[in-house]
Amino acid sequence: MGYASRQMRGQITLRRVAALLVGIALLAASCSGDNGTTTTAADTSDVPATTQGDTVAPTTTTEATTATTAPPTVTASTGIDQAVVDRLTEQIVELIAVTEEVRGLPFLAQPTVTIVTPEELAERVRQDLEEEIDSEELAVDSRLMKLLGLLDPGADLEAMLIDLYSEQVAGFYDGETGEMVIAGEAADLSPLTKSYVVHELIHALTDQHFLFNDDFEAMFDEERYDEGSAFQALIEGDATYFQLVYVQQLPLDDQFQLATEALEQMNDMTVFESVPVWIQDDLAFPYDSGQYFVQTLVESGGIAAVDAAYTERPVSTEVIMHPQRFGSGEKVLEVESVDIALDGYEVHETSVYGEWGFRLLLSGSAAPGVAAQAANGWGGDSYQVLFDADDVLLAIAYKGDTEDDAFELADALIAHVTDTMELGEGVATGGGVSFTADDGRYAYLDRIGDGFVFVVSSDATAGEEARAQLRVP
């Protein structure tokens, strides 16, 4: 589902995630003995989403000429000395020019930059999160994740997400206002912080050219979660890829200092490491898999191919993880929307789970490679979540690219139900197999050809009613 993405929809840079990716990229470049351009990564799109190869320099560039000569608008909180603000402004102006050169596009209007202290940034993000998060909706999400075995029974999901985002943020671009907010107290930005600024400037720059923010927000407002996660991967992958291009063009001393700072941050990941691994993976997805997706575009068509992707957009997480499928124009298979009606239940959401969603779901019960392989044949799906005062239910209709693909994923889901959800052995029911625990938890799966239906519920009666309404695609 791209769960973490849908919980915080703005383009926020997570310090730990960014540091991890930058540090890995620099270490990989150092190990290869290269400074800058590295060899093209092999096709590893069928393995778990990790850093899949080093950044390569764009094959084509556009000479960037600033479309406006007006200086950027830079404001700062009262807690920052004016001399510091003046020095930071000089560096930001330099980074604006560098960003235009690296990304190959000019700013149509100079960005607005707000400089705050790290404490103020964390508090601002915390307040934004508390306003953005709907506690009642999040409570339903939490109940479902616990039912699926993805969260411990006593986990406080809302507190977990707020703490995680508040501590990890280094800066962000606000697409609604066009404002870029960064933390800065010292007169000179460190090399790593400069790379963060470049990342956020790329967001501001590309939003000016491709006007993506409103469409991005609409995807999540309209519950197009898999599509929204794919688009976020393009947006964040774009910024991460060209952030790394910028880093690889720095003098060696700056690269060494940046890598050292990144590794120090990687060694201080208490909050990040305290959350379940699947949440960590989901947070990293738009940066990591997105960077690989953009790298593949650059390798095949230069910066122009990245620009074109904002018009002919990736519509599923499948093509983010398998960029060659995006290039070949592979389409999502149509699956009729799941529409379940249960007395006393409300519909929480109706959307598309997507290949990445299934990989996250299986991460608790299968090794990364096994989960990736099982989800790899995704063709299309529809799911619906319903809830009442006490219970929650998930119903999925799935269609694979082939019958073998559907069989493989169905088999992995049965293993998840048996082992992670601890529902025991199934029994033949209604053409499929059902599982019922002593506490009333329920699961059902029925596969025919290249399609299947899958139901999990905290109440067996509701689960049986939903099963009777579902038809295998």
Please write the tens of the pLDDT for every residue from 431-449: 999 999 999 999 999 999 9
Residue 13 pLDDT exceeds 90: no
CB atoms within 10 A of CB 167: 17
CA 203 – CA 199 distance, rounded (Å) = 7
Highest mean pLDDT, choosing among 3-17, 150-164, 245-259: 245-259
CA 53 – CA 37 distance, rounded (Å) = 12
Q: What is the mean pLDDT of the chain?
A: 86
The CATH architecture one would assign to domain 346-469 is: 3-Layer(aba) Sandwich (3.40)
| DSSP secondary structure of 295-353 | HHHHHHHHHHHHHHHTTS---SHHHHH-HHHHHTTPPPPP-PPP----TT-EEEEEE--
- Which is nearest to 298 in space by CA: 22, 24, 57? 57
CB-based contacts of 427, cutoff 8 Å, min separation 6: 433, 434, 435
pLDDT of 165 reads 74
pLDDT of 63 reads 46
3-state secondary structure of 424: coil
Residue 117 pLDDT exceeds 60: yes
- Which is nearest to 19 in space by CA: 371, 272, 219? 272
Task: Please give the model's pTM, rounded to 2 decimal places.
Answer: 0.89
- Beta bridge partners of residue 85, listed in sequence order: none
Contact between 361 and 434 under an 8 Å Cβ cutoff? The reply is: no
Q: Domain spans of the chain? A: 3-326, 346-469
One-letter amino acid for residue 180 of the chain: M
| DSSP secondary structure of 54-108 | -----SS------S--SPPEEEE-TTS-HHHHHHHHHHHHHHHHHHHHHHT---S
